[in-house]
Amino acid sequence: MSDLRDTSAFTRTVDESSKPIQVMKGRERKMVVLSNALHERYERLERRLSFKATIAEAEADTKAGRVRPMTDVQARMREKYGA
């Protein structure tokens, strides 16, 4: 935590690091700091993982028969709502 007093040096350390910086107080981790570039990389990775999970869920639904052709859905909507 004492390193945070010199904000310029700490900012440089964060910007130059390719890994998250753990801020400790004694032996306890108080926070983790990321550079903006690293944060954006983590966000892209998170979106990619979320997309892959969505695809896997859709594939599981298809295999389990929990999907219907769009033409069936449209016909049902027309019957129900008269459109």
What are 65-80's pLDDT values in tens digits?
Answer: 999 999 999 999 999 9
pLDDT band for 4, please (50, 70, 90 cuts): confident
Dist CA 66 CA 36 (whole Å): 41
Let me know whether 29 and 43 are in one domain.
Answer: no
Let me know whether 68 and 43 are in one domain.
Answer: yes
pLDDT band for 1, please (50, 70, 90 cuts): low
Let me know whether 24 and 6 are in one domain.
Answer: yes
Reported as a single tens digit per residue, the pLDDT across 15-42 is 999 999 999 999 999 999 999 999 999 9
Length of the chain counted residue by residue: 83
Let me know whether 60 and 75 are in one domain.
Answer: yes
Structural domain for 82, as ranges = 38-83
Report the domain count for the chain: 2
Let me know whether 50 and 83 are in one domain.
Answer: yes
Let me know whether 62 and 48 are in one domain.
Answer: yes
CA separation, residue 43 to residues 22, 38, 48, 54 (Å): 19, 9, 9, 16
